[in-house]
Amino acid sequence: MKTNNTLKLGALALALLSISAVTVAGGRGDCHHGKQMDRRGKAPMMKMLSRLDLSEAQRTEIKGLVKSHHEQMKQSRPDEATRTAQRSAMLEAITAETFNEQQVQQLLDSKQQQRQQMKLEKLKLQNAVYKVLTPEQQQEFKEKFMTQKAGKRGHGRFH
């Protein structure tokens, strides 16, 4: 009987850990390193920019901005030891004899703060890219952006 309860507890912990992983990931179909891609493997921002008839100078400048952003994100990404510690803390909370809501809330707040910082950096990049565009391209960008947001209900948006 004790073995049966242990198996049930283990299965429950695994299920909860899976649910928490989906929740932490945002519950969306995000791809590699949090980048959302279309069916052809192209990020929505890059897909939209490819439709704006960019000059070679604009392309070069945008590539530089994107590369710099990726390097910055790599440096700010938590190392493996930190990620392992976070997973261990979550598992400990899930499998504890008594659930410590305050401890779990702190873990979730920490993860949320990390996600918000990444989102902020991504929006800064998008703003910098937008500033590279000509006024005509900026207008077209706005129109396409609003069309995508309104018409796709969550698909193909900038995240």
What is the residue extent of each domain of the chain?
A: 2-30+55-132
Kindly report, residue by residue over 29-71, the tens digit of the pLDDT.
344 444 444 445 556 677 778 778 889 999 999 999 999 999 9
Q: Which residue has the higher pLDDT, 55 or 155?
A: 55
Model pTM?
A: 0.60
* Confidence label for 21 from pLDDT (cuts 50, 70 and 90): very low
Report whether 143 contacts 52 (CB < 8 A). Answer: no
* Confidence label for 149 from pLDDT (cuts 50, 70 and 90): low
**What pLDDT is attached to residue 26?**
40
**What pLDDT is attached to residue 144?**
83
Report whether 64 contacts 138 (CB < 8 A). Answer: no
The dihedral region occupied by 154, where left means phi > 0, alpha psi between -120 and 50, and beta the remainder, is: left
